Amino acid sequence: MSELKAQMDQLGKAAKAAAQDLALAPAEAKNNALKAAAQAMRAQLPTILEANKKDMAAAEAKGISSAMLDRLALDPDRIEAMAKGLEAIAAFPDPVGKSLESWEQPNGLKFEKVSVPLGVIGIIYESRPNVTADAGALCLKAGNASILRGGSESFHSSGAILTCLQIGLESAGLPIAAIQRVPTTDRAAVGHLLTMNDYVDLIIPRGGRGLIERIQTESRVPVLAHLDGLCHTYLHKSADPKMALEVVLNAKMRRTGVCGATETLLVDDAFADDDLKPILKRLIAKGCEIRGDTAIQALDKRINKAVEADWDTEYLDAIISIRKVNGLIDAIAHINRHGSHHTEAIITEDSSAAAAFQQEVDAGIVIHNASTQFADGGQFGMGAEIGISTGKLHARGPVGANQLTSYKYLVRGNGHARP
CB of residue 21 to its own copies, shortest distance in Å = 11
- Compute how many residues bind its own copies; rule: CB under 8 A: 64
Stretch touching its own copies by CB under 8 A, among 40-48, 70-78, 127-135, 360-368 = 360-368
Q: Coil, strand, or helix at residue 263?
A: strand
The residue among 62 and 337 lying less far from its own copies, judged by its C-beta, is 337
The residue among 133 and 244 lying less far from its own copies, judged by its C-beta, is 244
The residue among 184 and 195 lying less far from its own copies, judged by its C-beta, is 195
The residue among 79 and 142 lying less far from its own copies, judged by its C-beta, is 142
From residue 89 to residue 108, the character string flagging contacts with its own copies as x (rule: CB under 8 A) and all else as - is: --------x-----x-x---
Helices (H), 286-317: 294-297
Indicate the length of the chain as a whole number: 419
414 binds its own copies (CB under 8 A): yes
CB of residue 281 to its own copies, shortest distance in Å = 18
List the one residue out of 75, 243, 355 whose CA is nearest residue 251: 243
List the one residue out of 235, 202, 206, 240 whose CA is nearest residue 219: 202
Distance from chain centroid for Cα 373: 13
CB of residue 142 to its own copies, shortest distance in Å = 12
CB-based contact 43:163 (threshold 8 Å): no
Stretch touching its own copies by CB under 8 A, among 6-14, 44-52, 235-243, 266-274 = 235-243
Q: How far apart are CA 321 and CA 230, in angstroms?
A: 11
246 binds its own copies (CB under 8 A): yes
Among 41, 192, 396, 400, binds its own copies (CB under 8 A): 396
CB-based contact 269:235 (threshold 8 Å): no
CB-based contact 405:115 (threshold 8 Å): yes
305 binds its own copies (CB under 8 A): no
Q: Is 214 exposed, middle or buried (0-12, 13-18, 19+ CB in 10 A)?
A: middle
The residue among 297 and 380 lying less far from its own copies, judged by its C-beta, is 380
397 binds its own copies (CB under 8 A): yes
CB of residue 14 to its own copies, shortest distance in Å = 17
CB-based contact 132:158 (threshold 8 Å): yes
Helices (H), 25-142: 27-43, 45-62, 66-72, 76-91, 130-141
Window 143-162: residues binding its own copies (CB under 8 A)? none
Q: How far apart are CA 378 and CA 350, in angstroms?
A: 29
From residue 340 to residue 359, the character string flagging contacts with its own copies as x (rule: CB under 8 A) and all else as - is: --------------x---xx
Among 151, 205, 364, 400, binds its own copies (CB under 8 A): 364
Q: How far apart are CA 108 and CA 2, in angstroms?
A: 56
28 binds its own copies (CB under 8 A): no
Among 243, 295, 318, 319, binds its own copies (CB under 8 A): 243
On the CB side of 254, how many CA atoms lie within 13 Å of its CA?
16
The residue among 157 and 402 lying less far from its own copies, judged by its C-beta, is 402
49 binds its own copies (CB under 8 A): no
Helices (H), 261-307: 273-285, 294-297
CB-based contact 122:149 (threshold 8 Å): yes
Interacting residues toward its own copies by CB under 8 A: 20, 23-24, 97, 103, 105, 109, 111, 116, 118-119, 201-202, 217, 220, 222, 240, 242-243, 246-247, 249-251, 254, 336, 354, 358-360, 362-371, 373-374, 379-381, 391-394, 396-397, 406-418
